[in-house]
Structure 1
């Protein structure tokens, strides 16, 4: 069981980052599916929902996936089914039940480096890039190789 003292919804990623860094016990909330399995004492839980990171966008040269996009969204989004031989959609379609996929978020899963998820393998095979607030845009491979550092993952990018 986990406990949260305060839930915050800052209005900007800069404000979110400053809150995250303020105290060791501050964390970013994702879908909280895996958090429910832990026993943590969280001082401030930071909700990024005001940052509009729950969208999948078709850009000219790439597809942009926000950190709050759920695995359920990845599984059913026509853009991801049509592109990359549907590998992203297929990588999440058999993860437990649809209810679970509808709460697990891209950002939390990638940032936490959950190696047991086929989703990370799919993203690696596609040479995906991620965007971190402090560290900037980098390849997923480089991110997975580096040691843990507090930051905020906001988006995933895949060139078309």
Structure 2
């Protein structure tokens, strides 16, 4: 397994990647782990890509999930399957509101909840933004991939994967 999951925040990437790992043992990398340094400042793109390439080299089976087209694009040649999670903004917002505490990102559930309004604002802009996090860039990257790929637009589809 060498898989990439791409989608908006709240689309279900982490949940689905963890589900795949229960079926087949694989290393998992959330791109949030390599994209930022100390808070909300993005690392140099080359450094993030180098970390992902090291992860790929160190693991025979892997799943990489994230919303960063600029990090994913250079490693797609190593990918065997590409899944684009596109359940719509409303579903993503609902998932963000229901998200359990993420201790790897926040020191407490209260701190996480303090960032929820900003996250929802960011998620809401998915269909109109033109950066590496937006729908148009995700769609273009998905369409350019010539290997095994699928787009999941309904979270109920995740159950049958």
TM class by smaller structure: under 0.3
- The structure whose residues are more often strand, as a share, is 1
- What is the TM-score of this pair, normalised by structure 1? 0.24
- What is the TM-score of this pair, normalised by structure 2? 0.23
- The structure whose residues are more often helix, as a share, is 2
Q: With a CA cutoff of 8 Å and minimum separation of 6, indicate the structure with the bigger relative contact order.
A: 2
